[in-house]
Amino acid sequence: MRNVGIIFKKEIDSYFVSPVAYLLLTMFGLIFGFFFWNAVSYFVMVGIESQMRGGGGPMNLNEYVIRPLLSNVSVVGLFFIPMMTMRLFAEEKRTGTIELLATSPIRDIEVILGKWLAAVALYGCMLLFTAVNFAFLFRYGNPDWKPLAVGYLGLLLQAGGLLAVGTLISTMTRNQIIAGAATFGVCLMLWILEWVSGYETAAWAQVLAYCSVITHFESFAKGVIDSKDVVFYISLIFLGLFLTSRSMESLRWRS
């Protein structure tokens, strides 16, 4: 555990000593803000229209603003994941510092956990950063906070799974760009797999759709914790990290 902490701290420091973390935070914040004000403006417009038509009844902020917003963010996250994981192992392999880690009295899995947790923590920071927007919602409206919290939990779980996949891919090359591009490709695949369910209902299409990380987010966006989806994300995390440790071992035996 202590060793995980050492690696975690080192990775966090290296995110924040370079412009990477600030760039990611800023970009994510801007994109999130854009989505947010779009959703709010739309909400306001629809609200005014329905009042002019004489329709009554208060509209639900959660349904009109938070849910679409969270769904959008879960997709945007796919584009940020590769930038957070591509460096993790590829850079250590390129510069040879992997030899330091591998010859120190610390287990592979501790290195992997430290790095992965650092990436998850950075994603957590990015999510926190977006909370500023919601401060406005709570100031001027009256949304229910629980679905929002569930949505954020879903975002974090989803990112955890994808970050584990990205970590795995980063062990396979010494070239950051390749690691990033491959991770991006895989993230994209995991997203668009869902589309097959739009026109095909056969068993294989259902399996593919099940593998899509996005379908599992829908329940979270609605504010519902569905154990099926939680299990999916947790399994993805475990699988990703397990394969990462296998990958590190096999690289050692092969090279």
Partner 1 sequence: MITVEGLTKRYARTVAVDNISFQVQKGQIVGFLGPNGAGKTTTMRILTCFLPPSEGKATVAGFDVLEQPMEVKRRIGYLPETPPVYPEMEVSEYLSFVGKLKGLSGPNLARRVDEVSERCAVADVRHKLIGKLSKGYRQRVGLAQAIIHNPDVLILDEPTAGLDPKQINETRDLIKGLAGDHTIILSTHILPEVEQTCEQVIIISKGRLVATDSVHNLQNRARGAETVLVEVAPRDSAPFEQTVVQRKLEQVAGVSRVLLRDASPARAVFEVESLKDKFIRGDLARAVVESGWNLNELHTTAMSLEEIFLQLTGSEPAAAAAETPGEAQ
* Residue 50 binds to partner 1 (criterion: CB under 8 A): no
How far is it, in rounded angstroms, from Cα 207 to Cα 202?
9
Mark the segment that binds partner 1 (CB under 8 A) among 64-72, 101-109, 188-196, 213-221.
Answer: 101-109
Query: To the nearest whole angstrom, how small is the minimum distance from the Cβ of residue 102 to partner 1?
Result: 5
What's the half-sphere exposure (Cβ side, CA atoms, 13 Å) at 240?
Answer: 29
For 155-196, the DSSP string reads HHHHHHHHHHHHHHHHTT-S-HHHHHHHHHHHHHHHHHGGGG
Stated length of the chain? 255
Ramachandran area for residue 96 (φ above 0: left; ψ -120 to 50: alpha; else beta): left
Q: Is the dihedral of CA 100, 167, 35, 145 positive or negative?
A: negative
**Using CA atoms in the order 159, 164, 170, 171, what is the torsion angle rounded to 10 degrees?**
170
Number of chain positions touching partner 1 (CB under 8 A): 24
* Residue 246 binds to partner 1 (criterion: CB under 8 A): no
SS3 of 226, please? coil
* Residue 204 binds to partner 1 (criterion: CB under 8 A): no
Mark the segment that binds partner 1 (CB under 8 A) among 102-110, 132-140, 179-187, 240-248.
Answer: 102-110
Q: Of 24 and 165, which CB lies nearer to partner 1 in the complex structure? A: 24
Exactly one of 1, 135, 199, 255 binds partner 1 (CB under 8 A); which one? 255
* Residue 46 binds to partner 1 (criterion: CB under 8 A): no
**Which residue is listed with tokens 């290195």?**
111
Exactly one of 56, 96, 135, 142 binds partner 1 (CB under 8 A); which one? 96
Q: Of 110 and 194, which CB lies nearer to partner 1 in the complex structure? A: 110
Q: Of 97 and 201, which CB lies nearer to partner 1 in the complex structure? A: 97
* Residue 105 binds to partner 1 (criterion: CB under 8 A): yes
| Residues at the interface with partner 1 (CB under 8 A) | 3, 6, 10, 13-14, 17-18, 95-107, 252-255
